[in-house]
Structure 1
Amino acid sequence: MVKTNINFIERRGTGSLKWDHADVLFNGEGLLPMWVADMDLGVPHQVQEALINRVNHPIFGYARPHDSLYDAVVNWMKDKHDWTIQKEQVFFSSGVVPSIAAAILAFTEPGDKVMIQSPVYAPFYSCINENSRTLVDNPLLIKNNRLEIDFEDFENKLKDGVKLFILCSPHNPGGMVWSKADITRMAELCKAYNVLIISDEIHADLGLYGHEHTPIAKMNPNSITLMAPSKTFNIAGLQASLVITESPEIMKKLTGQFLKQGFYGLNVLAYPAMEAAYTYGIDWLNETISIIESNAELVTSFINDKLPAVNVIKPEASFLVWIDLRGLGYTEGEITKRLIQKGKLALEPGSKFGKAGSGFVRMNIGCSPETVKEGLNRLYNSFSDLI
């Protein structure tokens, strides 16, 4: 592996949501922020250089993507995910969440049933509820310390008139990489019941420990795949993502919805950053994955040793760890109070991801090992009197 000299960056005082606003958002003081899903790693130097080169041009007018960007995306999907797509199947959106909302509006009507699998990324709920659709839940099961799909319930819900299924793959917050068998089964059931799939695959590039992601579109073309370089390369603030579908009819209807909302393209800096990331970022990504794997081992070994009543669902993808604190016997409110007041630690509360997440927290380990160790010590200090 080529060394890319990844740096851990001091972000205080930069306007960072994660670092500069945690005390206010969590109503605490001196908190260590390990919550929102962005990393403390400097981006690939090629991405920064591409942005500098573009900034050196003194005009920032309207822009369109070059063919070279489409080529970079197509090549990335083939090389990284063994997925062959065409330029015409790609649309650039400002983010996965706006794309989910646009798809809900384009392909369902008020009152229609939209299915999710809880616990899951919070905007899934708001995109459904705020657009007056009916939320249907296929709750995930916990077996052998990992999340699994209840397929009997999955099919029963589809039978009951679900119009749209929103998949989170890999799963956030659980960190599961769904097996090819699971992806195939979900794809086939949705095909059998004529249910359109929206698949949030924003963490797809960050498979850990050799886990390989399978795009569900490979199994069912009646789907919309949402990916982005934002989590992969730590450029979420540039607000750039991908919408991919093999169906010209789906693409036409979805892009029509974006036009209804007044969306016409990305900002002028997003395009060169995306192209540089997908063209040159693989060595940086491989090193980043090694860092995350090492941090995940720190978390698992520390909690198993120091907090035996706490369970860690070891991530198979991404830099987010789903931690089960229910064995401590406290309500979520009590857990949060201890974390903030005693431990001085800001973690995402599990209920943010739905009722099934109550008693859990999500920890961001996309940071230096020193930060992870400090966070673990603060987690321990939050509950040390119970040991």
Structure 2
Amino acid sequence: MDYPVAPVIREALEKRIVTDLGYPMWDEQSSPPPLVEAFAHRMETRYRWRPDPSHARAFTDLNQALQVLLHHLTEPGEPIALHTPAYVAFVATLAEMNRPILPIPMLPDGDSWRFELPDVTGCHILLLVNPHNPTGRAFTRAELTEIADLAERHDLLVISDEIHADLTFAPHEHIPFATLLPDRTITLTSASKAFNLGGVRCAVAHIGPAHVRKQLSDMPGMLYGEANVFGVEATIAAWTHGGPWLAETMKTLDANRHTLADRLPKTIGYRLPEATYLAWLDFGHPDAAEKVEQRAKVLLSPGKSFGPGGDHYARLNFATHPEILEEILDRLSAVAE
């Protein structure tokens, strides 16, 4: 996001700098560790989910966590079910690890999106991105229940990326998938999206399936690295004290998503996102992002990098200041076909 970090986070990092940059002793000093405790408390108070803190562990970010899980739980060539188009880094990870995508296409449906459940024969993992990036879809309880039923019928594990949960716009709500299918769900989350902390590298994985916890616990403790002291301090401060800052930020994001609806040229398709600060724009032709960059000097994320179904699209990050968004829209209007 194009906003400064929350003051409570800055204060927490400044305090860490002036007091102690030595080796952290969280595990020895408390049980559960402070990061896991902050995660569990936030899930319970914000989403009415009571995760078992002993089933959670820290990673440096969601992409690392996903790669570790896929390495342990799947073999090269094994398909991974994924709603498409999908988050660029996940598409890249699956390609790099030779885990082909089994698409669950997100299809236009009035003012929103829908999906059709696929044949998951030969698949053991469903990678759920909820809220969905790039469409901004916040899955309903009915939709999540259908996915849970599918997972039960076909013996699937669900890796649920819920990093955009805090960016859900009312009246929509975020429903943790683990509340529906706890023993089959691995939940991945972080404060990095909602609190603009991507560079500090800290994420939490809550691992519901007992056999997955056993596999990870059998590995050397430092093999996959650790979250650093800045990441942990920033995340705890965000989840514990960042509520007022996030509420104000959500007001700006809400206004910005409606500004897009009001001012985007009619030749560009747009469905109001139910969550995230991302607009999935339908230009109706391939290479839209490249053409917009050349002609309007506006940098969008190319739709083709989001995998199947993204060719005619581009993604716009609207987490910026209103005057900058107005400039973006002026430029798009000037070159709209």
TM bin (shorter chain): over 0.9
1:346 aligned onto 2:299 = yes
1:76/1:59 CA distance change after superposition, 3 Å: closer
Work out the number of aligned pairs and report it.
332
Assess if the C-alpha contact under 8 Å between 1:116 and 1:124 holds in 2. Answer: no
Assess if the C-alpha contact under 8 Å between 2:289 and 2:303 holds in 1. Answer: no
1:118 aligned onto 2:84 = yes
Q: Could you tell me which amino acid in structure 2 is paired with residue 113 of structure 1?
A: P
Q: Distance in 2 between matches of 1:69 and 1:125?
A: 28
Aligned match of 1:144 in 92, 102, 110? Answer: 110
Aligned match of 2:210 in 229, 237, 248? Answer: 248
In structure 1, the partner of 2:332 is: 379
Aligned match of 2:52 in 86, 91, 112? Answer: 86
Assess if the C-alpha contact under 8 Å between 2:81 and 2:126 holds in 1. Answer: yes
Q: Distance in 2 between matches of 1:95 and 1:239?
A: 5
- Secondary structure of the structure 1 residue equivalent to 2:98: coil
Aligned match of 1:309 in 244, 261, 267? Answer: 267
- Secondary structure of the structure 2 residue equivalent to 1:209: coil
In structure 1, the partner of 2:135 is: 174
Q: Distance in 1 between matches of 2:176 and 2:188?
A: 10
In structure 2, the partner of 1:320 is: 278
Alignment of 1:1-387 (within 5 A): 39-57=1-19, 59-64=21-26, 67-151=33-117, 154=118, 157-158=119-120, 160-221=121-182, 222-256=184-218, 259=220, 262-303=223-264, 307-326=265-284, 331-333=285-287, 335-383=288-336, 386=337
1:232/1:63 CA distance change after superposition, 3 Å: farther
Q: Could you tell me which amino acid in structure 1 is paired with residue 103 of structure 2?
A: D
Assess if the C-alpha contact under 8 Å between 1:302 and 1:376 holds in 2. Answer: yes
Task: Give the alignment's Cα RMSD to 1 decimal.
Answer: 1.8
CA shift, 1:62, in A, is 4.8
Q: Could you tell me which amino acid in structure 1 is paired with residue 286 of structure 2?
A: E
1:149-185 per-position Cα deviation (integer Å, ceiling 9, x unaligned)? 113xx2xx22x22111111110000000000110111
Q: Distance in 2 between matches of 1:350 and 1:40?
A: 21
Assess if the C-alpha contact under 8 Å between 2:103 and 2:308 holds in 1. Answer: no
TM-score (norm 1): 0.82
Q: Tell me, which stretches of 5 or more residues in structure 2 are unaligned?
A: none
Q: Tell me, which stretches of 5 or more residues in structure 1 are unaligned?
A: 1-38
CA shift, 1:60, in A, is 3.3
Q: Distance in 1 between matches of 2:135 and 2:247?
A: 21
1:68-115 per-position Cα deviation (integer Å, ceiling 9, x unaligned)? 333221111011111111210211111111111111111112222211
Q: Could you tell me which amino acid in structure 1 is paired with residue 195 of structure 2?
A: F
CA shift, 1:315, in A, is 0.6
Assess if the C-alpha contact under 8 Å between 1:89 and 1:244 holds in 2. Answer: yes
CA shift, 1:337, in A, is 4.0
1:142/1:254 CA distance change after superposition, 3 Å: farther
Structure 1 ranges of 4+ moved more than 4 A: none
- Secondary structure of the structure 1 residue equivalent to 2:193: helix
Q: Distance in 1 between matches of 2:62 and 2:135?
A: 18
Q: Could you tell me which amino acid in structure 2 is paired with residue 55 of structure 1?
A: I
Assess if the C-alpha contact under 8 Å between 1:313 and 1:324 holds in 2. Answer: no
Q: Distance in 2 between matches of 1:325 and 1:256?
A: 49
CA shift, 1:275, in A, is 1.0
Q: Distance in 2 between matches of 1:180 and 1:300?
A: 26
CA shift, 1:129, in A, is 2.4
1:349/1:255 CA distance change after superposition, 3 Å: farther
TM-score (norm 2): 0.93
- Secondary structure of the structure 2 residue equivalent to 1:290: helix
1:311-368 per-position Cα deviation (integer Å, ceiling 9, x unaligned)? 1121100111111111xxxx423x3343122211001111111131111111111111
Q: Could you tell me which amino acid in structure 2 is paired with residue 302 of structure 1?
A: R
CA shift, 1:120, in A, is 0.6
